[in-house]
A = this chain, B = another copy of it.
Amino acid sequence: MKKSKGATVHEVAREAGVSAATVSRFLNGTAKVAEDKRQVIESVIERLNFKPNVLAQNLKSGSTRTIGVLTQSLVSGFFNETMTGIEDALKAAGYAPLIVTGHWHADEEAERIELLIARRVDGLVILTGNLTDAQILKFSQRVPIVAFGRKLQGKQAFGFSLDNYTAACEAMDYLVEQGHRNIAFIAGPEEHEDARARLAGYRDTLAKHKIRFNTKLVVQGDFQESGGLLAVNQLMESRQRFTAIFAANDLTAYGARLALYRRSIRVPEDISIVGFDDLHTSMCVTPPLTTVRQPLFEVGQCLGHAMLKMIAHEKFEINVPPLSLMVRESVRRVS
């Protein structure tokens, strides 16, 4: 099966009356090439519409200029905004992301990472997930890894997360400042580090303001809309009194808001809601959601740059804007 596509360096070389080595040198600027040959080569390349075969380059160089990205969901605004940042950072350096999905399932994540490694990605970006740090460190013996959503430090591994705790405290402080004292919390998955940090922030801020921690006001969610909806139902059934809900993430807040709507409870007149993430849509829901903004695009860029630096064995530092509370219209002042 003759490949119909594309000329080779040898063909170009022959046509131009030079050696393949010279063509290669011209292509990569590896060494000086006489002006006259230069011109001939250039025109032959043009005429033959020659494009170097990346596959051969890859084999030779051992590098694919591809970065594997392990995400958890292709439909989540959270991951996708981060991904946009990653793509942005990689693009400039001529790298492309190979994206796979782990669906929050450690086994699947590991399997997809194996695939990525088999495909010889030059590096790996891991967005949260359920692998243990130990597993990731193990993988990092085979390929450089940058992770988000976990603190990690190794020879070829680096991970960072944002200060979810402080941001959660800030959100809670705001709620208290607005006069709320009975605040419900819809938690995220327990195994999730960020979710735990947010819960801790809720708890500690209550203490700080000398507000009694009421277990009945904390219900389990799952970071999905459905969890938020169920949580509010549970809250209502338990007949606890509360004037505000702090949802562990925006999706949860959406679900909670819907449950309230179903019961004709107004937001924020009757109950206030605060979310976490600041998804793209959060400024457009009704009422626009007051939530903690995660600078996900910047995080993505940062991950991309860090990856590139790591591959180049250069020093790098993480520098992303802090989490910040976006005050919109879902919280009402109570007296």
A residues at B contact (CB < 8 Å): 3, 5, 51, 53-56, 58-59, 62, 64, 66, 74-75, 77, 80-81, 83-84, 87, 96-101, 115, 118-120, 142, 225, 229, 254-255, 257-258, 261, 280-281, 284-288
Contacts and interface: CB of A to CB of B under 8 A. Distances in A.
A254 B289 CA distance: 13
B254 A281 contact: yes
Q: How many copies does the complex hold?
A: 2
A83 B99 CA distance: 11
B120 A54 contact: yes
Contacts of A75: 77, 80-81, 84, 280
A142 B59 CA distance: 22
Contacts of A96: 98, 100, 115, 119
Contacts of A66: 98, 119
Contacts of A54: 118-120
A101 B99 CA distance: 13
Identify which of A58, A66, A87, A254 gathers the most chain B CB atoms within 10 Å of its CB. A58
5 nearest CB pairs, A to B: A261-B286, A55-B59, A254-B284, A225-B284, A74-B84
Contacts of A77: 75, 77
Given A74-B83, A120-B53, A288 B258 contact: yes
Nearest to A226: B284
A99 to B, nearest CB: 5
Contacts of A229: 284
A175 to B, nearest CB: 21
Identify which of A80, A101, A118 gathers the most chain B CB atoms within 10 Å of its CB. A80
Given A62-B3, A80-B75, A101-B87, A258 B280 contact: no
Contact of A285 (B56, B83, B280, B285): B285
Contacts of A80: 74-75, 80
Contacts of A51: 118
A290 to B, nearest CB: 15
